[in-house]
Amino acid sequence: MLLDTYAWIELFNGTSRGLKVKEVIANNQCFTSAISIAELSEWVEKSKLNRQKIFHIVKNLSTIIEVNQEQLETSGILKIEKRKNFKDFGLIDAIILATAKQYNLPIVTGDKHFEGENTIML
């Protein structure tokens, strides 16, 4: 399972969706795209949370997948394809989607941008 930034934020916020993420983590091997670390970093800064604690949890509960050339090349294509349905589909989401496709992992998310893909929607 590839945990999207959305999933991590729900978990840390302790929402009902976050409880679903906790269950996914407890029952599956989980991964996080390194690009999600950048998004989480922004959220941690805005939320004034303990950066060290948040990233310690992320690294202990999932394996970080580094961004590679294949993902980057694929992400540009995916962004153009997804923009046909979602005008605000961004490059970070495209990299996360490319990562999921490369490793054949379902994305755990609540982000509507990933609907129609191999996802577990929260």
pLDDT at 22: 97
Neighbouring C-beta atoms of residue 19, cutoff 10 Å? 13
- Domains of the chain and any CATH numbers: 2-121 (3.40.50.1010)
81 — pLDDT class (breaks 50, 70, 90): very high
**Scanning the structure block, which residue is given the tokens 């050339």?**
69
- Amino acid at position 73, single letter: E
What pTM value is reported for the model? 0.93
**Residues whose CB is less than 8 angstroms from the CB of residue 52 and which lie 6 or more positions away in sequence, other chains included:** none
Which residues are paired to 3 by β-bridges? 108
Over the stretch 93-108, which tens digit does the pLDDT of each residue have?
999 999 999 999 999 9
Question: CB neighbours of 106 closer than 8 A, spacing ≥ 6?
Answer: 1, 2, 100, 118, 119, 120
Separation CA 73–CA 76 (nearest Å): 6
With beta carbons less than 8 A apart as the criterion, state whether 118 and 21 touch.
no
pLDDT tens figures, 18-74? 999 999 999 999 999 999 999 999 999 999 999 999 999 999 999 999 999 999 999
